[in-house]
Amino acid sequence: MRIIHHGAVNGVTGSCHQLDINPNSSILIDCGLFQGAETEGKTSVEQLEITFDITHITALIVTHCHIDHVGRIPYLLAAGFNKPIYATTATAALLPLVIEDALKVGVTRNKRLIDLYIKRLKVLLQPIDYKQWFNLEVNHIEVDTGSNTETKNNSIGYQRAKARFNVAGHILGSAYVEIELSHPLPAVKPTQTQLQNKSDTAPIDKDNSHLVVFSGDLGASDTPLLLSPQSPKRADTLVIESTYGDKNHHNRKHRADSLRRIIEKAVSDNGVLLIPAFSIGRTQELLYELEKIIFEQQQNPMWQSIDVIVDSPMAANFTEKYIQYKSLWDKEAKAVLKQQRHPLDFSQLYTIDSHQDHLAVINYLASRKKPAVVIAASGMCTGGRIVNYLQRFLAEPTTDILFVGYQAQGSAGRDIQTYGPKGGYVYIDGERIDIKAGVHTISGYSAHADQQDLINFVEGIQNKPKHIRIVHGDTSAKAKLAEVYQRLLPNVAIEIGTN
């Protein structure tokens, strides 16, 4: 068994891990896009192209449908991949939307070509419910040991593999995956030669199997709407993300209070509050929190008159899926439903679909005398409809902008965050705009586990791992988490993934 990485080792994007089961069979876990500075200056085609051999890959397992975990799937298909793509039922429902959008934005506007890819994807997609084991195809290896042809043992590889998804609590449908590798139990005693040659009979775990766990992206323990991840009972090898391996978030109550206070202040002058947010996950979390505040502030006329506008057809599609899969919500969110409240579809919420309506809303907001909150993508202000809002409203002192997500170096969002409070300016689509708007940040509104969550995940595993490999993080986050884990588990081999 061997694990190699085709991404998400020198940063957090491009997730793509390869588990070699034996010399003839491998499984891919995720196939994502590199983003931002992590593209290392490569053109989009160069960085998307599948440069590794896929002949022995017998399946792709998708942990969740964020673009940096699935964005290279069209290129995998273009390379001739025709094996099953396993995903949870909710992820399988979201995935075609994500891939279609990714193709439109980054590859082609040719509808016929897009339809072909989506059709191909749907043929290969295998939706699997959480906690259901499913078998993975393993090509057998036969070895000639003289008079008999016997199955080789695990110094060469494994003969069987099965997998299952478990709740990761990161976004709708997200999962960590357990992959159990095993041999058929030997029917006959090992031969004298095998016994003498120890290296040929490598240690086998007590029930003849080895359990590999890929964390995917783990959610924060108090993410609104979604269940928190539960640790697996056992993991012999654990490959774990470390996005916030060196940080702890503010708790949810603290974040919700900040959100309420910032909105109250921002709209007290009837100005607009802009929240750049990713369409999947973050937007729905915000809606959930906003509905909760509006409900709690029933006596507050400001909160009862506020318009919440989601200006993103993508976000609207995903919100619909979040509602469709409400069986996956956490206890608190289900209790809200029982009270006949609609956390993602409340009466003050307006969803904008067409481009024409989008432009009309901008004009309407410019002339209205009533508080409004606008949520639009992209989360880092690098494109999408938020750009038109920024161009129209950033130079107005009654405007406020609230950042709830990570702003990468070099993004317009980071520039607004850095220069806005100093009375500076920002270039958006080549146009210089003076920032008169108030700039706010709520840190820790993250769909990712923080350091404590990552510690809890490992502490919760009853049969502790023998190996932990740390991936999906910046250098300092990976190093810090490795240090913390080593202190916690002095006898465990902890390594940082490299490619």
Q: Which token pair is 24?
A: 């003839």
> By C-beta, is 100 or 217 nearer to Zn ion?
217
Closest distance of CB 352 from Zn ion, Å: 25
State the minimum distance, in angstroms, from the CB of residue 168 to Zn ion.
Answer: 9
30 near Zn ion (CB under 5 A): no
* Size of residue set near Zn ion by CB under 5 A: 2
For 179, the enclosing helix (H) or strand (E) is strand 175-182
Ramachandran angles phi, psi of 239, nearest 5° = -105, 115
> DSSP character for 187?
S
In the complex, least distance from residue 170 CB atom to Zn ion, rounded to whole angstroms: 6
> According to CB under 5 A, which one of 217, 246, 285, 453 is a site residue for Zn ion?
217
Residue 65 tokens, joined: 């449908």
Query: What's the gap between Cα 45 and its chain centre?
Result: 22
Q: Indicate the residue among 217 and 450 with the shorter CB distance to Zn ion.
A: 217
Nearer to Zn ion, 102 or 372 (CB): 102
Q: Which C-beta is closer to Zn ion: that of 217 or that of 400?
A: 217
Residue nearest to Zn ion (CB): 66
Which tokens in the block code for residue 387? 């750009």
Identify whether 354 is preceded by a cis peptide bond (ω within 30 of 0). no
Q: Which is nearer to Zn ion, 282 or 414 (CB)?
A: 282
State in angstroms the smallest separation of the CB of 29 from Zn ion. Answer: 12
Please give, one letter per residue, the 3-state secondary structure of 293-304.
HHHHCCCCHHHH
Site for Zn ion in 38-67 (CB under 5 A): 66
Cα 169 to Cα 19, 92, 354, 448, 454, distances in angstroms: 24, 16, 31, 9, 13
Of the pair 32, 276, the CB lying nearest Zn ion is at 32
Other C-beta atoms lying within 10 Å of the C-beta of residue 4: 15
- DSSP for 308-369 reads EEEE-HHHHHHHHHHHHTGGGB-HHHHHHHHTT--TTS-TTEEEE-SHHHHHHHHHHHHH--
The burial of 148, by beta-carbon neighbours within 10 Å (0-12 exposed, 13-18 middle, 19 or more buried), is given as exposed
Closest contact distance (angstroms) between CB of 67 and Zn ion is 9
Stretch that binds Zn ion, among 99-107, 216-224, 346-354, 475-483 (CB under 5 A): 216-224
Question: Residue 17 CB, nearest distance to Zn ion (Å)?
Answer: 12
Residues 447-486: x where in contact with Zn ion by CB under 5 A, - otherwise, as a string? ----------------------------------------
For the bound state, the minimum distance from the C-beta of residue 321 to Zn ion, rounded and expressed in Å, comes to 16
- Binding residues for Zn ion, per CB under 5 A? 66, 217
